[in-house]
Amino acid sequence: MRKDEVLKLIDAGFTRDEILALEEDADLIPEESAEEEVPAEEPAPAADHFESPESMYQHMMQQLQETLNAGLKGIQAANIRGADQPEVKQDTPEDMIARIIAPAVKAKNK
């Protein structure tokens, strides 16, 4: 019996005589059957449940690019809606002379 096993038995409350009796009984049992190994099932690899860092990075970058493109399209649409400007009328020489001769009178605020 190993030292740590004996200490565990002492902590559990076994006396010295009981531990020696257990040790004698353990000598009667063949070694092969005393420490019979049970084949352990291997847990599922973590790679099955999670993405690799490279694919996770690619996925995040793709989402970021889609978000930025959607925001850019919204900004462009707002710029197009706001770009509606009135048509600028070019003054003819006659209009310029008319303003000199008879300027437009602005209404006074009372």
State the pTM of this model: 0.34
Residue listed under structure tokens 């019996």: 1
Three-class SS state of 102 = coil
Residue listed under structure tokens 């649409």: 77
Determine the pLDDT at residue 34.
47
Determine the pLDDT at residue 103.
87
Question: Any idea where the domains of the chain sit in the sequence?
Answer: 1-32
Exposure on the CB side of residue 83, measured as CA atoms within 13 A: 6
Say what the alpha-carbon torsion angle 86, 90, 94, 98 is, to the nearest 10 degrees: 40
Question: Mean pLDDT per 10-residue run, the chain (110 residues)?
Answer: 80 84 68 56 62 90 96 93 82 92 79
Angle in degrees, CA 77, 79, 82, rounded to 5: 110
In whole angstroms, what is the distance from residue 69 CA to residue 18 CA?
Answer: 77
CA distances from 49 to 4, 42, 46, 79, 92 (A): 38, 15, 5, 45, 76
Determine the pLDDT at residue 82.
85
